[in-house]
């Protein structure tokens, strides 16, 4: 028998995911329990999941102490994971229970490991098709080969379970008794990879050596688009697996996973575990449990995969590490890139941050020697980096409400004549960003937010990009009641598609924008069709900037290169530089050389110049110098506070009180700005007030903020969120 740390009836502290703030004392159950055990405990009238966090604190009277109900059949939470959750909670100023919730996001963790029925797509066709049956089949196909439980399948398809059962006799749906939590197929790290180019081989050798060392370290793998970074970091994965340790690869976009999974399968002979919002609940549970037991060697996933209970994590790859989607902007506010480094440092694992255009944070860490840095400076094989040129829009003749300049149009026509593809890039979803009344000048706004509504002609509605509210396009102006005077102002991708169809009547035009696809499968199908050459002109938002390979694409036209430079955002220059270089990098990945044309009204702007010349190091140096002088990240620290309430006054009152009582911040030399209305002062009917804290790099910011906020008692309806290292200032 295994010895237990706490015998029956001993006092133990149990952390639950309930918002209680801290662990509570319980009595150990029959058979005892140990630190890290997943347990079920009574909480009021309910039974909830918890983790034994250590010995009890003794602050509950012995007579009131309730007993742990049972220890669950799951691998205990390792000490390293507990330390990670505590450190992440301290860093992000998040209550520990909220961190535990991130770490237990899989359903049925407490269920026994019995057999259960699973349902997946079979080869057969149903004898008779009904709309309900079609929905079930479509859903199963959308999720690839993944299996569902009956309840989840019926619910997601919006049908009764008898509809699912009715599809079994024909073989259209397979019903099988699956032992819960089968291990994932074995990935073989000894299989040969593709032969690497010289610089790739050197990079791979360095990453392999780091992984073989078995301790913590972070490497920035900076390689131009198309340099073959993926093949290089797959070698690090191979090294990690060959030591019997687990690896995690984070991707910024679910749409990219399909292609990546295929590459993993080619390299290691089987598919890895997948973890993101497009994975079924049944599969999530399997991933969670197998990761904890060592039945999954490699996980490919979204940022939340960082909170999986790895048994022996040896490597974390953060691909496209500069991508802003790694920052979680709702609920627990954390940056997955930074948390990956924290987790790896506790696990004795290596981190590889891969990007063609690293974040200034990572660049600075490499400069400071905290991260190793490896550069891949040329594209793999014969592919050449695209040529970049500006189109000076001040010299172009364009009628109103047209955005494709004559120079760009000529270039597109030349590509069409050569049987090649062009991408027109515009980072704006919808038809037009503003709808204005030509009689009174009124702009149609959202009823719940201080934001203008965006016309989506495809949906035939106006949409608020803040809260998602939609309404039909009105026939009369809501302000002056004039009829037929509402007009779209400015371009979105849908309007650009319309212009392209007029301008290039023979072209096949495809639009890639996240809101035009109702399912991930439809989006994947469109991407595949484009890659196969089924479009001449691709019109896309930033969705296309992220890593898709379109071999026939040789021209990228950026409709408005100035768009991102307009805001006063601290990272406006950095973001524009990254986005423009990434988008341009879509061109010329096949045999033919690419060209990127940037439409701009300010070709001599330093950021536009740096994008065109590709003199990256001097761009980063200049950007770093400016941020250092201003004392802002990564050379200083920041935290944002957002207070929101249904009425403006209580939010402002609290903000004002905080500003008057900022002694804990002043003690560490921090500066406080605000309160001020947030740039978007109302979202979903809640008024928003912002404060911003700036401190020196070494200042103990979190501790000071904790002291400062400790006396705050939030009035009913008022919410306060702390954002350490904010990325968004809206």
Q: Which residues bind ligand ADP (CB under 6 A)?
A: 194-197, 200, 223, 225-231, 380, 549
As a whole number of angstroms, the distance between CA 222 and CA 202 comes to 14
H or E stretch covering 131:
helix 131-142
**Nearest distance in Å: CB 386, ligand ADP:** 13
Give me 547's structure tokens.
Answer: 């890593």
- Beta-carbon-side half-sphere exposure of residue 218 (alpha carbons within 13 Å): 25
Q: Name which of 446 and 561 has its Cβ closer to Zn ion.
A: 446
Q: Which does 226 bind (CB under 5 to 8 A by kind): Zn ion, ligand ADP, none?
A: ligand ADP
Q: Name which of 183 and 445 has its Cβ closer to Zn ion.
A: 445
562 binds Zn ion (CB under 5 A): no
**Nearest distance in Å: CB 418, ligand ADP:** 21
Q: Which does 592 bind (CB under 5 to 8 A by kind): Zn ion, ligand ADP, none?
A: none
513 binds Zn ion (CB under 5 A): no
Contacts of 489 (CB under 8 A, 6+ apart): 432, 433, 434, 435, 436
Q: Which does 469 bind (CB under 5 to 8 A by kind): Zn ion, ligand ADP, none?
A: Zn ion
- Beta-carbon-side half-sphere exposure of residue 503 (alpha carbons within 13 Å): 23
Q: Which does 467 bind (CB under 5 to 8 A by kind): Zn ion, ligand ADP, none?
A: Zn ion
**Nearest distance in Å: CB 229, ligand ADP:** 3
As a whole number of angstroms, the distance between CA 221 and CA 231 comes to 12
Q: Name which of 195 and 472 has its Cβ closer to ligand ADP.
A: 195
DSSP secondary structure, 462-526, as one string: EE-TTT--EEEPPSB-TTT--BS-EEEES--HHHHHHHHHHH-TT--EEEE-GGG-SSHHHHHHH
678 binds Zn ion (CB under 5 A): no
Contacts of 354 (CB under 8 A, 6+ apart): 221, 223, 229, 230, 233, 317, 318, 319, 320, 321
Q: Name which of 245 and 546 has its Cβ closer to ligand ADP.
A: 546
96 binds Zn ion (CB under 5 A): no
The SS3 assignment for 456 reads strand
Q: Name which of 269 and 631 has its Cβ closer to ligand ADP.
A: 269
**Nearest distance in Å: CB 634, Zn ion:** 33
**Nearest distance in Å: CB 360, ligand ADP:** 20
Q: Name which of 376 and 464 has its Cβ closer to Zn ion.
A: 464
Q: Which does 194 bind (CB under 5 to 8 A by kind): Zn ion, ligand ADP, none?
A: ligand ADP
**Nearest distance in Å: CB 538, ligand ADP:** 18
Contact 473, 461 (CB under 8 A): yes
**Nearest distance in Å: CB 252, ligand ADP:** 12
C-beta nearest to ligand ADP: residue: 228
As a whole number of angstroms, the distance between CA 462 and CA 473 comes to 6
In the range 448-507, which residues lie near Zn ion by CB under 5 A? 448-449, 464, 466-467, 469
Q: Name which of 50 and 223 has its Cβ closer to ligand ADP.
A: 223
Q: Which does 449 bind (CB under 5 to 8 A by kind): ligand ADP, Zn ion, none?
A: Zn ion
Q: Name which of 348 and 445 has its Cβ closer to Zn ion.
A: 445
Q: Which does 223 bind (CB under 5 to 8 A by kind): Zn ion, ligand ADP, none?
A: ligand ADP
Q: Which does 274 bind (CB under 5 to 8 A by kind): ligand ADP, Zn ion, none?
A: none
CA 338-229-598 angle, 5° bins? 90
Q: Name which of 332 and 531 has its Cβ closer to ligand ADP.
A: 531
572 binds Zn ion (CB under 5 A): no
Nearest to 724 by CA among 708, 704, 701: 701
CA 78-83-87 angle, 5° bins? 150
Q: Which does 661 bind (CB under 5 to 8 A by kind): Zn ion, ligand ADP, none?
A: none
Contact 15, 50 (CB under 8 A): yes
Residue the block writes with tokens 């690869």: 249
**Nearest distance in Å: CB 268, ligand ADP:** 15
Q: Name which of 40 and 469 has its Cβ closer to Zn ion.
A: 469
Nearest to 510 by CA among 552, 468, 470: 552
**Nearest distance in Å: CB 681, Zn ion:** 12
User: From residue 417 to residue 446, what is the string marking binding to Zn ion with x (rule CB under 5 A)?
Assistant: -----------------------------x
Q: Which does 231 bind (CB under 5 to 8 A by kind): Zn ion, ligand ADP, none?
A: ligand ADP
Q: Name which of 356 and 432 has its Cβ closer to ligand ADP.
A: 356
Q: Which does 229 bind (CB under 5 to 8 A by kind): Zn ion, ligand ADP, none?
A: ligand ADP
As a whole number of angstroms, the distance between CA 240 and CA 209 comes to 10
As a whole number of angstroms, the distance between CA 164 and CA 160 comes to 7
As a whole number of angstroms, the distance between CA 161 and CA 280 comes to 17
Residue span binding Zn ion (CB under 5 A) among the ranges 280-288, 383-391, 447-455, 660-668: 447-455
Q: Which does 464 bind (CB under 5 to 8 A by kind): ligand ADP, Zn ion, none?
A: Zn ion
Q: Name which of 446 and 565 has its Cβ closer to Zn ion.
A: 446
Alpha carbon 134 to its chain centroid, in Å, reads 31
Q: Name which of 14 and 374 has its Cβ closer to ligand ADP.
A: 374
As a whole number of angstroms, the distance between CA 609 and CA 603 comes to 7
DSSP secondary structure, 612-674, as one string: HH--HHHHHHHHHHHHHHHT-TTSEEEEEEEEEESSHHHHHHHHHHHHHT-HHHHHTT-EEEE
Strands 671-683 and 686-696, bridge-based pairing: antiparallel
Contact 126, 133 (CB under 8 A): yes
299 binds Zn ion (CB under 5 A): no
Q: Name which of 548 and 637 has its Cβ closer to ligand ADP.
A: 548
Q: Is omega for the bond preceding 634 within 30 degrees of 0, making it cis?
A: yes
Q: Which does 200 bind (CB under 5 to 8 A by kind): Zn ion, ligand ADP, none?
A: ligand ADP
Q: Which does 230 bind (CB under 5 to 8 A by kind): Zn ion, ligand ADP, none?
A: ligand ADP
As a whole number of angstroms, the distance between CA 78 and CA 246 comes to 15
687 binds Zn ion (CB under 5 A): no
Nearest to 556 by CA among 537, 532, 575: 537
Q: Residues in the site for Zn ion, rule: CB under 5 A?
A: 446, 448-449, 464, 466-467, 469
């Amino acid at each position: 028998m295994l010895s237990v740390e706490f015998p029956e009836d001993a006092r133990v502290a149990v952390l639950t995911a309930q918002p209680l703030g801290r662990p509570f004392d319980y009595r150990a159950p029959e058979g005892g329990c140990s630190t890290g055990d997943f347990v079920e405990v009574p909480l009021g009238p309910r039974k909830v999941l918890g983790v034994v966090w250590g010995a009890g604190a003794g602050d509950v009277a012995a007579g009131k102490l309730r007993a742990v109900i049972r220890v669950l059949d799951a691998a205990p939470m390792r000490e390293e994971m507990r330390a990670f959750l505590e450190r992440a909670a301290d860093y992000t100023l998040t209550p520990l229970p909220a961190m535990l919730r991130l770490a237990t996001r899989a359903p049925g963790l407490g269920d026994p490991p019995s057999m259960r029925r699973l349902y997946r797509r079979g080869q057969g066709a149903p004898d008779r098709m009904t709309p309900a049956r079609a929905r079930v089949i479509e859903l199963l196909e959308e999720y690839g080969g993944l299996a569902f439980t009956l309840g989840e399948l019926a619910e997601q398809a919006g049908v009764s379970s008898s509809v699912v059962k009715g599809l079994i006799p024909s073989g259209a749906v397979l019903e099988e008794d699956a032992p819960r939590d089968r291990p994932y197929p074995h990935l073989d790290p000894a299989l040969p990879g593709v032969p690497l180019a010289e610089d790739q081989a050197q990079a791979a050798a360095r990453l392999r050596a780091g992984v073989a060392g078995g301790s913590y370290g972070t490497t920035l793998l900076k390689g131009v688009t198309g340099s073959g970074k993926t093949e290089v970091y797959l070698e690090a994965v191979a090294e990690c697996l060959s030591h019997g340790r687990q690896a995690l690869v984070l991707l910024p976009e679910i749409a990219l996973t399909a292609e990546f999974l295929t590459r993993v399968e080619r390299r290691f002979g089987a598919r890895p575990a997948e973890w993101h919002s497009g994975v079924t609940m049944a599969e999530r549970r399997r991933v969670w449990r197998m990761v904890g037991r060592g039945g999954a060697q490699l996980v490919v996933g979204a940022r939340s995969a960082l909170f999986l209970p790895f048994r022996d994590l040896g490597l974390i790859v953060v691909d496209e590490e500069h991508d802003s989607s790694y920052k979680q902007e709702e609920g627990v506010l954390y940056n997955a890139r930074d948390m990956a480094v924290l987790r790896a440092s506790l696990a004795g694992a290596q981190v590889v941050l891969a990007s063609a255009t690293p974040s200034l944070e990572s660049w600075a860490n490499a400069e400071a020697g905290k991260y190793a840095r490896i550069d891949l400076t040329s594209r793999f094989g014969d592919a050449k980096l695209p040529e970049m040129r500006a189109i000076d829009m001040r010299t172009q003749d364009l009628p109103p409400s047209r955005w494709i300049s004559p120079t760009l149009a000529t270039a597109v026509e030349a590509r069409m004549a050569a049987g090649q593809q062009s991408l027109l890039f515009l980072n704006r979803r919808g038809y037009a960003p503003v709808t204005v009344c030509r009689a009174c000048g009124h702009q149609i706004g959202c009823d719940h937010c201080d934001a203008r509504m965006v016309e989506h002609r495809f949906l035939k509605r106006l949409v608020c990009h803040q809260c998602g509210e939609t309404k039909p396009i009105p026939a009369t102006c809501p302000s002056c009641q004039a009829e037929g005077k509402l007009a779209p102002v400015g371009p979105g991708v849908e309007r650009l598609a319309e212009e392209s169809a007029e301008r290039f009547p023979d072209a096949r035009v495809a639009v890639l924008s996240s809101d035009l696809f109702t399912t991930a499968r439809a989006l994947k199908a469109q991407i595949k069709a484009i890659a196969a050459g089924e479009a001449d002109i691709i019109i896309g938002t930033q969705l296309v900037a992220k890593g898709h390979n379109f071999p026939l694409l040789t021209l990228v036209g950026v409709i408005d290169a100035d768009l991102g430079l307009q805001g006063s955002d601290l990272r406006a220059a950095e973001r524009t530089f990254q986005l423009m270089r990434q988008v341009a990098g879509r061109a010329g990945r096949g045999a033919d050389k690419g060209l990127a044309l940037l439409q701009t009204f300010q070709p001599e702007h330093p950021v536009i110049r740096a994008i065109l010349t590709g003199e990256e190091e001097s761009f980063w140096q200049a950007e770093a110098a400016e941020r250092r002088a201003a004392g802002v990240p990564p050379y200083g620290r920041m935290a944002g506070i957002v207070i929101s309430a249904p009425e403006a006054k209580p939010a402002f009152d609290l903000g004002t009180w905080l500003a008057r009582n900022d002694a804990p911040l002043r003690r560490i030399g921090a500066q406080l700005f605000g309160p001020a209305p947030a740039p978007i002062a109302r979202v979903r009917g809640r008024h928003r007030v912002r404060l911003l804290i700036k401190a020196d790099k070494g200042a103990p910011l979190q501790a000071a903020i904790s002291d400062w906020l400790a006396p705050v008692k939030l009035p009913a309806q008022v919410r306060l969120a702390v954002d350490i290292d904010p990325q968004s200032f809206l």
